Copies of this chain bind each other. A is one copy, B any other.
Amino acid sequence: MSKIDEITGLIREMEANTPGIEASAVVSVQGLPIASAMPSEVDESVVAAMTAAILSVGERASQELVRGNLQQITMQGDQGYIIIKGAGISAIITVLAKNDANLGLIFMVLKKISARIGELLSEE
């Protein structure tokens, strides 16, 4: 099984076990898709590009406003959440969730899965 297959398996499993998650993707810090589990109406390349754009502005803001290194961004729209978290040094995981999702649970799951994806991508 390739690393990409393994990562896709991890995010599919996360979606299946975490109520409220609608879509998720792992993208490179350059804004290119690595792996995703998305419904057909969501464009993987748009998610990847938007994720990298937000992270770039967010990292600048976190430094300028003395909040240290950026760990996670949560955006709440009136139709749901976008949650973005670093996964190792070269990748980011993005989750789209429903408005009634349990954020505490999603944050906990993301912490675990982002560490695992970071490890997988840093292995030889």
Contacts and interface: CB of A to CB of B under 8 A. Distances in A.
B68 A78 contact: yes
A112 interface: no
A46 B62 CA distance: 11
Copies of chain A in the complex: 2
Contacts of A34: none
B82 A77 contact: no
Contacts of A54: 54, 57-58, 61
A contact patch SS: mixed
Contacts of A51: 61
Contact of A46 (B41, B42, B65): B65
Contacts of A29: none
A40 interface: no
A70 B115 CA distance: 28
Nearest to A53: B57
B81 A66 contact: no
A58 B79 contact: no
Contacts of A74: 73-76
Given A50-B65, A68-B80, A71-B76, 4 more contacts: A54-B57, A61-B82, A67-B77, A68-B79
